[in-house]
A and B are shown apart, each in its own frame.
Chain A
Amino acid sequence: MKKTSLFLFLISSFAGMAQADFEKKLQTKLILAEDGSTINIEAGTYFLTKSLSLEGKKNITLRGKGIDKTVLSFKNQVQGAEGIKIANCENIILEDFTSQDSKGDLIKTMQVKGMTFRRLKAEWLGKPKASNGSYAFYPVLCEQVMIDSCIAIGASDAGIYVGQSKHIVVKNCTAFQNVAGIEIENSLYAEVFNNSAIGNTGGILVFDLPGLIQKKGGFVKVHHNIVKDNNLSNFAPKGNIVGNVPKGTGMMVLATSHVDIYENQILNHATLGVGVISYFMTGLKNKDKEYDPYPTDIQIHNNTFERKDARVPMEGRFGQMYRIKLKFGTQVPHIIFDGILDETKVGKDGKYLPEFAICVRENNGQSSAIIDAEHDFKNIISGSDALNCNPESIKSIQF
């Protein structure tokens, strides 16, 4: 008996030492890695106490043995604002592992040219809550970003967030129980397809915000995604832009231009299927003179919309707007446009010139409304064809 407990004691203390040793060895490998090398992590659950960082390297692969086989848990983290941080690198591949429960963001990559996330899971365990970290996958100021077959769960801001980046592909990913499932912000040339965004507050967001280094996003294609049941109560800390997203949002385009949304399944959203809004709708002041607050050249076509008849939930600014101002009752249009136009792009008929139009056609279950937000919602135009346009003006965005 005594020997057994001694044995158990030895094993547990060695296990603790082995964990600490693993962390130090792995971090040392990342620091000393020669360009072009691959670092493998065996199957197992590893509890890390500090941020893992990779800095200033080229052509490095960090590879586990598979999602939920190799697990990096940051539950016991005592240092660092993110689980994994990669900065100032070229051609980095992260693949085949799970990361969990960091105090801040899970995987942040900054200023990386050629950043691939492949077959990764990044999650906060337990029920979605405001104390979860902000972003699960967080490339910012990167170029050539590939996020493929990744899973993001429980982020208190966005599960997959691409910020101020260029040339981006997000495909085959799953995002659920985040505030925003997938968010493309101030980013250029992004293609988001074959993803599932289910059970978040908002499914897929395409935003342009003022005051940033990369001023202008746009040229974004969103297609063949399943966007469903994004009716989770918004649990983002206020002050963050996604805190404004009402629960029950399928997709939202905020101030971004040249966005093509097609052949998506956009199903069962309590508030809106797709919203196209200007920055004015946030109620925030803009002091950035170079910033363009208007979304223009937005195409929404060949999608399928479904929704059960029900009143919009009375939650947040948008919920109040719907219930007090818009008063759609139980039959709420799938697509709304705030109707606030950039006057420099308007033709003689008072509508956007064709190249700037907000264009909605040929969707299954199509219904839309221009809500005239500029004039206190006085002249709401709703109906299936409220945002109809000449089919010839639908041109696929090229990049």
Chain B
Amino acid sequence: MQRIHLIFGLWWVTGILMSLTDFSHKELNYPEKLSEFGFFEGHMKDQIPAGDVVPYALNSPLFSDYAYKLRFIRLPKGLKTAYNPDSVLQFPVGTAIVKTFYYKNDERNEKKGRQLMETRVLLHEAKGWVALPYIWNKEQTEATLEVAGGTQVVAWRDQEGNKKSLEYFVPNMNQCKGCHEKSGKMTPIGPSARQLNGDFDYHSNSKENQLSHWKNLGLIENLPENTSEIPKIPAFNDPKASLDLRARGYLDINCAHCHNPSGPARSSGLFLTWANTHKSSYGFFKAPIAAGRGSGNLAFDIVPGKSHESILAYRMNSADLGIMMPELGRKLIHKEGVALINAWIQSMETH
């Protein structure tokens, strides 16, 4: 009798599973495996770019739960982007931007290896940009397209040797657009001139300015001859740079992709873009609009000289889904980022 129950139970559960339509990614007409793009040569896990693929880095990257990132770009043969000082560079149709997220097993010792989590591929098609999340297998031999995203546990040791672990989330395709959106259209976030204006270690310890390198490769035109004209965001943790530039650069890359007049957070009226010089819309004594619990019983986004009264700092220093900012892409608090913004607000004159 009980055995019958068991069989019946299994049949019932399988029935539920089967009744939901199964989708194959082939319907999407995108490669199911990352290797099919040919971005890398040799072993996939070594992430060695193929001949037409250029690695790059940002001066001050977006915080993603302490993950490290490898970035690559491939422009269609013979085509280039044009320099502009203000916004993300406009890349021609056919461009692919590739970003691999990984954790070092031990942040104190590179030799202990790393774990690749996901690779996001941004493709510029005729109809616009599309974002594709590929999740790496345990063997680190291949990454597979997962439109609904996924979850994977990762463990590592931090710079102090503390054991850390995290249920790492890969966003689904729709959530990609939650950040990568401008006026309803998908768009890249990182590669602006001010973010690329820095050195990169290309070959055998020969550092070169990335924009100059791109110019030499024929990937960018109209670059100013006088490189001092090109804006530059300092690394958020560069002690030699000014506190104000570091903080505004940090807010630009971590917040302004949504908080700009045509981004997904435009409804808030808070614009944290590098170019915004309007104090009120940058948050100074700005009351929240629909922050709900995110207000933390505080009246304004930024109160100069009072970081503990500033909603901006409060929401960065939370990991509660109904409070934290950014609202996607992290589970952990970026302590160093919070410290930077606190120091910046504290450094301002009290009104």
Contact = CB atoms under 8 A, between A and B. Distances in A.
Contacts of B178: 53, 55, 85, 87
B314 to A, nearest CB: 10
Interface string A1-43: 0011011001100110110011011111111100000000000
Interface in B1-32: 2-3, 5-6, 9-10, 13, 16-17, 20-23, 27-28
B162 interface: no
Contacts of A30: 174
Contacts of B286: 211
A32 B147 contact: yes
Interface string B248-267: 00000000000001001011
A273 interface: no
B296 to A, nearest CB: 7
Most buried by B among A15, A55, A131, A138: A55
Contacts of A24: 148
B167 A240 contact: no
Contact of A133 (B147, B175, B292): B292
A211 B281 contact: yes
A56 B264 CA distance: 13
A285 B285 contact: yes
A134 interface: yes
B177 A56 contact: yes
Interface string B94-136: 0000000000000000000000000000000000000000000
A29 B266 contact: no
A60 B178 CA distance: 19
Nearest to B262: A213
A209 B289 contact: yes
Interface residues of B, number: 59
Interface stretch (B36-44, B76-84, B222-230, B321-329): B321-329
Given A24-B148, A51-B175, A55-B174, A111 B184 contact: yes
Given A15-B13, A32-B27, A104 B322 contact: yes
A88 B181 contact: yes
Contacts of B317: none
Contacts of B9: 7, 10-11, 14
Nearest to B326: A81
A239 B298 contact: yes
B23 A18 contact: no
B290 A140 contact: yes
A133 B287 contact: no
B307 to A, nearest CB: 15
Nearest to A236: B292
A28 B148 contact: yes
A275 interface: no
Nearest to A77: B321
Nearest to A51: B175
Contacts of A85: 174, 178
A316 interface: no
Given A31-B148, A80-B321, A141-B266, A157 B177 contact: no
A31 B130 CA distance: 13
A209 B288 CA distance: 10
B311 interface: yes
A261 B320 CA distance: 39
A103 interface: yes
A120 to B, nearest CB: 20
B295 interface: yes
A79 B172 CA distance: 11
A110 interface: yes
Contact of B292 (A11, A17, A104): A104
A54 B322 contact: no
Interface string B275-306: 00000110001111111111111111000000
A141 B181 CA distance: 15
Main SS of the interface on chain A?
mixed
B146 to A, nearest CB: 9
A32 B146 CA distance: 12
B169 interface: yes
Contacts of A288: 280
A161 interface: yes
A243 B298 CA distance: 11
A200 B328 CA distance: 31
A105 B292 contact: yes
Contact of B290 (A11, A50, A135): A135
B212 to A, nearest CB: 38
B320 A103 contact: yes
Nearest to B2: A3
A237 to B, nearest CB: 5
B53 interface: no
Nearest to B169: A79
B269 interface: yes
Contacts of B181: 87-88
Contacts of A4: 2
Most buried by A among B17, B22, B324, B331: B17
A348 to B, nearest CB: 37
A211 B293 CA distance: 20
A287 to B, nearest CB: 4
A78 interface: yes
A161 B292 CA distance: 12
B23 A237 contact: no
Contacts of A79: 169, 321, 328, 331
A257 interface: no
B173 interface: yes
B320 to A, nearest CB: 7
A188 B299 CA distance: 27
Interface in A113-136: 130-131, 133-135
Contact of B322 (A78, A133, A209, A284): A133
Contacts of A6: 6
Contacts of A14: 9-10, 13
B172 A211 contact: no
Given A10-B6, A28-B23, A157-B292, 15 more contacts: A27-B148, A50-B172, A78-B167, A81-B321, A81-B324, A133-B322, A134-B293, A134-B322, A157-B290, A213-B261, A237-B295, A238-B295, A239-B298, A284-B287, A287-B285
29 contacts: A10-B6, A18-B17, A27-B172, A31-B147, A32-B28, A32-B147, A53-B172, A78-B169, A78-B331, A80-B328, A104-B292, A104-B321, A104-B327, A133-B293, A134-B294, A135-B290, A135-B292, A141-B267, A156-B292, A161-B290, A211-B280, A211-B289, A213-B269, A237-B296, A237-B297, A238-B299, A239-B300, A284-B287, A284-B299
